[in-house]
Amino acid sequence: MPRLLGVDIPSDKPSGISLTYLYGVGPHTARELCHKAGIDPAKQARELAEDELGRLAALLERDYTVEGQLRRQVTQTITRLRDIKCYRGLRHRLGLPVRGQRTRTNARTRKGPKKTVAGKKGVKDLR
């Protein structure tokens, strides 16, 4: 398995797809990297030579914010939003959807599993 920036990329996949295993590199950026480094995106990752891996690593470090640096940047941004107590920061703090999604239904990913609340007594129970 080839290693780039401390991450093992899968060797049995094309290099254009293997690069997407890096945090912050999507399909478009992976194709762009292959083009800039002069590597065929369809070439298997295990077939990449050391100089090609070196070119990719140099390009990633020079032109892109990926992996640890990007994770730190995202964390700092969220911390800043929480500290200044803006709306987005409050949503992060409460564990609710941040980007305007509805919460009456369909927010289970952020809110977690349902917490059942005791129901009200019906009209029949009052007699």
Q: Which DSSP string corresponds to 27-90?
A: HHHHHHHHHHHT--TTSBGGG--HHHHHHHHHHHHHH---HHHHHHHHHHHHHHHHHTT-HHHH
The answer to whether 111 and 103 have CB atoms below 8 angstroms apart is: yes
Q: What is the pLDDT of residue 124?
A: 66
Q: What is the pLDDT of residue 125?
A: 59
pLDDT tens per residue, range 4-18: 888 899 989 999 999
Q: What is the pLDDT of residue 123?
A: 64
Please give the distance of CA 119 from its chain centroid, rounded to a whole number: 39
Q: In terms of Cα–Cα distance, which of 116, 115, 70 is closest to 95?
A: 115
Around Cβ 48, how many Cβ atoms within 10 Å? Answer: 22
Q: How far apart are the first and last CA of the chain?
A: 72
Which contacts qualify for 48-57: CB closer than 8 Å, 24 or more apart? 48/2, 48/15, 53/2, 53/3, 53/4, 56/4, 56/19, 57/4, 57/5
Q: What is the pLDDT of residue 1?
A: 81
Which residue stretches of the chain have pLDDT < 70?
A: 122-127
